[in-house]
């Protein structure tokens, strides 16, 4: 077990962020005592984007989504994820 330094008290999140950008957590946390955990209901964060598509393409995507009984935005996300994973060899 490693002796840990006392963690300072932070007044703001920005102050804490600046601290961790210049300090190593190994000096403040005994990671050998850490326990693995999972957050099964935690949803990944998303970001809204604007994407311009030709109307004919969007119509075809909507038809494909209807065939699969899913929202067209979900189908687009699925296709994009599949393509990116395939390109990266995942």
The domain limits of the chain are: 1-34, 42-90
* Topology (CATH level 3) of domain 42-90: Arc Repressor Mutant (1.10.1220)
Entry pTM = 0.52
pLDDT one-digit tens code per residue, 33-76: 899 898 888 888 888 999 999 999 999 999 999 999 999 999 99
d(CA 62, CA 74): 10
pLDDT tier at 18 (50, 70, 90 boundaries)?
Answer: very high
Q: State the Cα angle at 80 between 77 and 85, rounded to 5°.
A: 125
């Amino acid at each position: 077990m490693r002796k840990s330094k006392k963690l300072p008290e932070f007044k703001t999140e920005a102050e804490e962020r600046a601290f961790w950008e210049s300090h190593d957590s190994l000096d403040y946390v005994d990671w050998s005592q850490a326990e693995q955990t999972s957050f099964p209901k935690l949803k990944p964060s998303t970001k809204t984007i604007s994407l311009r598509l030709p109307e004919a393409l969007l119509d075809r995507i909507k038809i494909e989504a209807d065939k699969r009984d899913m929202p067209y935005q979900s189908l687009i996300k699925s296709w994009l994820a599949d393509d990116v994973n395939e390109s990266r060899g995942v």
